C-alpha cells in the first residue's frame, strides 16, 4: 500500500500503482472530472502518473492558478497536430505556453491569419475527439532513432544530458516534451489563434526562418470572449491615444 498525505493533513492508504486519477475518483467522480494534473512530492506531474510509494499529493483542478499554463501548453500540441494534418511537410521545433497563451515555431510554408479558420477548425476536431494525452519515456538512443527525419527535434535531443527522454502522444501525434499535460484533448474548451510572425531557429539569423503561430486557450468560452473583448478595448484606447497625439482628430 502507498500512504497518501493530502494538503489538509489527512492521510489514506491506496494500492501501489494507483494513479492520481484513481485517487481523485475516490474523492468523487465530479471532483475527478475537474482535475487536470497533480503535484506529487512538490513536482508537477500528469494525473495518470502511477504512485508507487508513500507521497504527498495536491490535485490541480481547472480553478487552480497552475492550470492555465498546463492547458495552454496542451493547446500548443493540439495546434501542432492540426497543422501536421493540414500541412504534412511541416517540421516542428518548440511550442511553449507563454503569459497570455502559447505559440509554436514551425518550419513550413508561409501562412497568414487567412489560414487561421482552417487550422482552428481542425483543432476543434481534435478537441472533439477527446484524444488521451499520454506520456512515454524512452532511452535517448531510441528517441534519436524516432526523430531521425526531424532535424530540429534531433538537434534538441542530441543536446540533452538526460539518458531518458519523454514524449507525449495524442492519437497519431507525438511530440518531444517534459510535460505535464491535460488528461485528454477535450479539456481545451475554448481556443483561438491570434497572430503569426517570423522567427529564426535558435534566434539566429543565419539559421532557418520559421513561422511562429500564436494562440490562446481557456477552460470555457466565456473567459475567451472576455479576453478578446479586453484586447479589442485596449486596441481602441491605444488608437485613440495615437490619434490625439498626432492631432488627427479630437474627442468631445
Q: Where are the domains of the chain?
A: 2-61, 67-231
Give the pLDDT of residue 156: 95
> Reduced to 3 states, what is the DSSP secondary structure of residue 62?
coil
Q: What is the overall mean pLDDT for the chain?
A: 93
Express each pLDDT in 235-249 by its tens digit: 777 655 655 555 555
> Which positions ≥6 away from 83 have C-beta within 8 Å?
90, 104, 106, 108, 119, 122, 213
CA dist 175 and 91 (Å) reads 11
Residues of the chain with pLDDT > 70, as a percent, come to 94
Q: How is domain 67-231 classified at the CATH fold level?
A: 3.30.980
The answer to whether residue 150 scores a pLDDT higher than 80 is: yes
The answer to whether residue 23 scores a pLDDT higher than 80 is: yes
> Global pTM?
0.91
The CATH class that applies to domain 2-61 reads alpha beta
Express each pLDDT in 174-208 by its tens digit: 999 999 999 999 999 999 999 999 999 999 999 99
CA dist 252 and 208 (Å) reads 51
Express each pLDDT in 77-133 by its tens digit: 999 999 999 999 999 999 999 989 999 999 999 999 999 999 999 999 999 999 999
Show the DSSP H helices in 130-183 as ranges.
140-146, 151-159
Using left for φ > 0, alpha for ψ between -120 and 50, and beta otherwise, residue 101 falls in left
Give the pLDDT of residue 32: 96
Amino acid at each position: 500500500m502507498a500512504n497518501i498525505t493530502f494538503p489538509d493533513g489527512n492521510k489514506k492508504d491506496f494500492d501501489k500503482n494507483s494513479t492520481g486519477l484513481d485517487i481523485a475518483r475516490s474523492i468523487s467522480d465530479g471532483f475527478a472530472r475537474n482535475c487536470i494534473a497533480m503535484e506529487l512530492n512538490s513536482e508537477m506531474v500528469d494525473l495518470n502518473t502511477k504512485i508507487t510509494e508513500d507521497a504527498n499529493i495536491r490535485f490541480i483542478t481547472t480553478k487552480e492558478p497552475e492550470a492555465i499554463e498546463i492547458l495552454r501548453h496542451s493547446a500548443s500540441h493540439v495546434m501542432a497536430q492540426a497543422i501536421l494534418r493540414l500541412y504534412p511537410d511541416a517540421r516542428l521545433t518548440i511550442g511553449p505556453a507563454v503569459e497570455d497563451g502559447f505559440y509554436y515555431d514551425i518550419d513550413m510554408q508561409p501562412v497568414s491569419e487567412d489560414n487561421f479558420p482552417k487550422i482552428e477548425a481542425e483543432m476543434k476536431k481534435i478537441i472533439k475527439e477527446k484524444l488521451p494525452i499520454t506520456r512515454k519515456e524512452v532511452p535517448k538512443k531510441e528517441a534519436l532513432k524516432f526523430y531521425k527525419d526531424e532535424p530540429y527535434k534531433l538537434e534538441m535531443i542530441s543536446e540533452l544530458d538526460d539518458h531518458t527522454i519523454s514524449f507525449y502522444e495524442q492519437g497519431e501525434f507525438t511530440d518531444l516534451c517534459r510535460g505535464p499535460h491535460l488528461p485528454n484533448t477535450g479539456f481545451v474548451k475554448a481556443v483561438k489563434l491570434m497572430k503569426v510572425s517570423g522567427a529564426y531557429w535558435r534566434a539566429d539569423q543565419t539559421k532557418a526562418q520559421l513561422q511562429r503561430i500564436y494562440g490562446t486557450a481557456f477552460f470555457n468560452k466565456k473567459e475567451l470572449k472576455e479576453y478578446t473583448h479586453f484586447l479589442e478595448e485596449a486596441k481602441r484606447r491605444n488608437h485613440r491615444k495615437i490619434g490625439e497625439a498626432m492631432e488627427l482628430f479630437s474627442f468631445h
